[in-house]
Amino acid sequence: METEPGRNKSKVDTDDLFGEVVQLTYATVAQPEKFHELIMLWEKCLTSRIVSKDQDTEDAALVGHFNQALQIFDHIGRVQRDHDRAKRILDGFSMPAFICDAALNILYKNEEFDGFAAVNEVRGPTFGEAIREQIRNWEVGQTVAFVPDLAEPDGAGAAVITELPQGFYDDTIPGKQYLVVFNEVSETNVAWGAIRDKYNLTAAEADVLAQLAKGRKADEIALQKGVSVNTIRAQIRALLEKTGSRNQNDLVRSSVFVLSQFQSLKLVAQAFVPSDARPEAVFSRVILPSGRMLQFRQFGDMDGLPVLYLHGMMGGPDLPHHVKTAARQSGLRIIAPSRPGFGKSDSIPATDWEFVRQSCRDLYAFLDVLSVPAAFVIGNLSGFGIAINFANRFPEKCIGVLNAGYSGIVSDDLIDGMGTMSRAFARSYQKSRTALRFLTRAAIASVDFLGAHRMMQRHLGASPVDLDYCHEVGCFDMMADGLTHAIAQGGEAFIKDGFLATKDWRDVIEEVAGKVRLHCILGERDGIAPHLRIKHEAEQIAGYDVRFFPDAGQLVLFQEWEAVQALIHEDFAKNRGRLSKM
């Protein structure tokens, strides 16, 4: 049987393309910044024979490659989180410190330790023996061990060993790990204040204790302070009495131990604090009658007009500071739940239409629990898919509906004009769920490795007006937190969001337009999703109030908040009679 003309060439091209995907995938493991190159290459695959529209017959080699790549991306994400956490701890010490395993193999160390190790290298194999002995004899339930006379020949230094909490690492490094800190006993160490308070020492007594810990004798301290030796000895006797120490060596040993314990335990606790100094957002939680839990935030005037804000992938259930301020001043109460599967809101196992229906039922129960009879509903970006369906199912709960940043109309022309990442994800959703899951995991690994801020800057770089806005109002933290919020439970919420973002909702829009006041605001300068390409189609839907803002981009909701507030107040005013009956 003869081969059809061109068939061999197609197979060769497919093999070559598959080889490129494989090579670039594993290059991305070493250099996660190549993720965007991988996205561009993947777009080629979408038009090749590798990806079949029949998702049950995808190339077995491709699926195997994706599965192996998933494991690798997942692993490097965990490794990077471990590295960042360890670095955050060790950088907090001004003294030499490292993290090791039970065999004293150093996993992470700070710069101070490098210098310390070089100076003490002459001590040979005995250098770490005291530490190794403590770890070898570690008892169940023990949290800390003290190793005296290790850092300095005159006995001025000491080391403290702390077992890191279970779960400090994922499964990237098996077994237990320990934090080892070589003490800084200088009088400038802030922990001396804790010791002074602990033993009720005077400032002079605390200073003498610090000098003793540094290895100085009574006559040396007296000479330095310009007082008699008898004065110093009297202060040492007072120290022995107040601390309950048997002798001067015991006094120094116990004091340095307290110093070590204070420093190490304080910083170990910081291992579980976010890497930046910003306080975590305050969320409330409610249990719905179904038993499902939703977390949510509220902004503005708590006695004001209720606005239900349904977030998209970017930004999460948060708003820029100027929006919150304006909402409070104009009498709006913004209720912002984390959509199912985002943050700590319970996920919904269902997909596609059933996912949408259950999300709408959750929102109905959510408003009832909060005793909100009806609200103005905002669907920002992909959140419009939930907003428009909620209005269609429960119009009595909606004063009005605003779609922001997305029109709800999806065409091939619109997808063709999207930014690279958005375009690749949209096409993948239409053709291959296996590939979509792979790309999502690769994206999450890139967030883990590069950080949410860099990923958001790269994404918004396709739309300069939005990038400039984030710089201007200082909301990159909010956008990055929103990305972290989206992947808090893995990539499932990310994937389900694709259904909302890539489905054409015009039939639902037409139904809603006859039930509820329906608005849509879009930015003409949106470089991520160029909605000007579907402007004519959107404007043809009767009852759909579509407005384009010439100076706005995808973040049009925030950029044109003044106009949004006017719409909200207008719709509440036109529903005043209906509200009075509720």
Q: What is the pLDDT of residues 180-196, one digit of tens each?
A: 877 655 555 556 666 77
One-letter amino acid identity for 209? L
pLDDT of residue 7: 37
Kind and range of the H or E run holding 334: strand 332-337
Give the residue, 502 or 467, on which the prediction is more confident.
Answer: 467
Most confidently predicted of 393-402, 440-449, 498-507: 393-402
Per-residue pLDDT at 28 exceeds 80: no
pLDDT at 463: 86
- Pairing type for strands 144-148 and 375-380 reads unpaired
| Length in residues, the chain | 582
Q: Which residue has the higher pLDDT, 387 or 207?
A: 387
CB of 519 within 8 A of CB of 402?
yes
* Contact status, residue 158 vs residue 92, Cβ threshold 8 Å: no
Q: Which amino acid is at 149?
A: D
Percent helix, percent strand, percent coil in the chain, to nearest 5: 55, 15, 30
pLDDT at 84 over 60: yes
* Amino acid type, 297: R
Token pair 């601390």 in the structure block, residue: 243
pLDDT at 550: 93
On the question of pLDDT at 277 being above 60, the answer is no
Q: What is the pLDDT of residue 489?
A: 67
Average pLDDT over residues 258-275: 46
Q: What is the pLDDT of residue 269?
A: 43
78: pLDDT strictly greater than 70: no
Chain mean pLDDT for the chain: 75
What is the percent of the chain with per-residue pLDDT over 90, rounded to a whole number?
18
**Could you count the other beta carbons within 10 Å of the beta carbon of residue 318?**
21
155: left (phi over 0), alpha (psi -120 to 50) or beta: left
- Please write the tens of the pLDDT for every residue from 114-149: 776 665 554 445 557 778 888 888 877 666 666 655
Dihedral (CA of 305, 306, 312, 313) sign: positive
- Name the amino acid, one letter, at 544: Y
Confidence band, pLDDT 50/70/90 cuts, at residue 285: confident
Where are the domains positioned within the chain? 16-75+423-450, 91-273, 284-419+462-580
pLDDT tens across 437-461, in order? 767 766 776 676 666 777 787 778 7
Question: For the purposes of burial, counting CB atoms within 10 Å of the CB of 24, is it exposed (0-12), middle (13-18) or buried (19 or more)?
Answer: middle
Say if residue 432's pLDDT is above 80: no
Let me know: does 379 contact 388? Beta carbons within 8 Å: yes
What pLDDT is attached to residue 395?
A: 93
* Residue 329: predicted pLDDT: 94
The stretch 420-441 carries a mean pLDDT of 68
pLDDT in tens, 90-109: 776 667 788 888 888 888 88
Element of type H or E holding 64: helix 60-90
The Cα 253–Cα 452 span in angstroms is 45
Of the pLDDT bands very low, low, confident and very high (cuts 50, 70, 90), residue 265 is: very low
For residues 491-512, average pLDDT: 82
Mean per-residue pLDDT, 290-295: 84
pLDDT at 46 exceeding the cut of 90: no
Q: In the prediction, which pLDDT does 548 show?
A: 93
Amino acid present at 400: G
Question: pLDDT at residue 232 above 50?
Answer: yes
Residues 6+ away with beta carbon under 8 Å from 62:
18, 21, 50, 51, 434, 435
Strands (DSSP E) found in 137-235:
144-148, 158-163, 177-182
Which of 22-26, 236-240, 241-245, 464-468 is predicted least confidently?
22-26
- Neighbouring CB atoms inside 10 A of 257's CB total 18
Specify the CATH class of 284-419+462-580 in words. alpha beta
pLDDT at residue 158 is higher than 70: no
Higher pLDDT, 42 or 277: 42
Per-residue pLDDT, averaged over 46-72, amounts to 54
Tell me what the mean pLDDT of segment 513-522 comes to: 90
Rg of the chain, C-alpha, whole Å: 31
pLDDT band at 349 (very low <50, low <70, confident <90, very high): confident
For residues 182 and 95, the answer to whether their CB atoms sit within 8 Å is yes
pLDDT tens readout for residues 538-567 = 888 888 889 999 999 989 999 999 999 999
- Taking residues 301-323, report their average pLDDT: 89
β 144-148/158-163 pair status: antiparallel
Are the beta carbons of 523 and 547 closer than 8 angstroms?
no
Higher pLDDT residue, 405 or 426? 405
- Calculate ∠ Cα 298-300-304, nearest 5°: 100
Token pair 């410190």 in the structure block, residue? 97
More confident residue, 210 or 406: 406
**Mean pLDDT, residues 240-251 taken together:** 77
Residue range 398-421: mean pLDDT, rounded = 82
